[in-house]
Amino acid sequence: MTIRILLADDHVLLRAGLRALLQTGSDLEVVAEASDGNQVLALAEQYKPDVVVMDISMPGCGGIEATQLLTKTIPGVNVLILTLHEDSSLLQEALRVGASGYILKRALESELINAIRAVARGDMYVHPAMTRALFIEETIKPEGTDDALDPLTPREVEVVQLLANGYTNRQIASMLAISVRTVESHRSNLMSKLDLHSRSDLVRYAVRNGLLNLEV
């Protein structure tokens, strides 16, 4: 299956370099390029890409605002933020408005390709240099998050926390001393209760509610 990509960056040379890089992947196709957020919205509506590789700092409608509008108006689109900014608040804001990934422009070429493939299949990708920012609970846990957990049973809270932290169904079953089928049932129920549709949705929910942990 070919992953259709929209590149959004106001630097022409950077877009040319990205296009050349992505052409090396047989499953990747750049279908359009945009230089500002308004073009992103128009071109995404026209081409229906699987992934938008989005810079944050663009003239007019910036990357954060464009991401929020895209994820509301075009179901199924996945936004990967590609930026120079190693700023935890920008990462958290990008995830809050619906981005599926955040990668730095200094990343290796192979990392970018892997990130695109990850978000295209519905996973979350955060550049390793930025992952610690996800676990600063005082910053990312907004007021009223206890109410957001109310629909879940205590066991479902445990399951969503472990899933968001990357554990497989089998690992969770072993850790909680329950069957894999029971884990799958809890996962299905909590996704339905919270109206979540992918692992990236689940991770964003966990970020908003302070359910991610970092073990050092």
Identity of residue 26? S
Q: Based on the fold, state whether residues 125 and 29 are members of the same structural domain.
A: yes
| CATH code of 204's domain | 1.10.10.10
- Confidence (pLDDT) at 203: 76
> Which of 91, 106, 135 is the endpoint of a domain?
135
Q: In this predicted structure, which of 60-69, 146-155, 180-189 has the lowest mean pLDDT?
A: 146-155
> Which regions of 64-152 does DSSP assign to beta strands (E)?
78-83, 101-104, 125-126
Question: What are the two backbone dihedrals, phi and then psi, of residue 185, each rounded to the nearest 5 degrees?
Answer: -65, -45
pLDDT greater at residue 60 or residue 80: 80
- Confidence (pLDDT) at 122: 81
Distance between CA atoms of 192 and 132, rounded to whole angstroms? Answer: 29
Q: Is the pLDDT of residue 62 over 90?
A: no
Average confidence (pLDDT) over 136-161:
62
Q: In this predicted structure, which of 117-126, 149-158, 197-206 has the lowest mean pLDDT?
A: 197-206
Q: In this predicted structure, which of 71-75, 85-89, 175-179, 200-204 has the lowest mean pLDDT?
A: 200-204
Q: Report yes or no: 125 and 109 within 8 Å, Cβ to Cβ.
A: no
Q: In this predicted structure, which of 110-124, 125-139, 158-172, 183-197 has the lowest mean pLDDT?
A: 125-139
Say which residues have a Cβ less than 8 Å from residue 141's Cβ, sequence separation at least 6. 208, 209, 210
| CATH code of 59's domain | 3.40.50.2300
Distance between CA atoms of 196 and 206, rounded to whole angstroms? Answer: 11
- Confidence (pLDDT) at 4: 97
Q: Based on the fold, state whether residues 18 and 97 are members of the same structural domain.
A: yes
Summarised one tens digit per residue, pLDDT across range 134-147 is 555 333 444 444 44
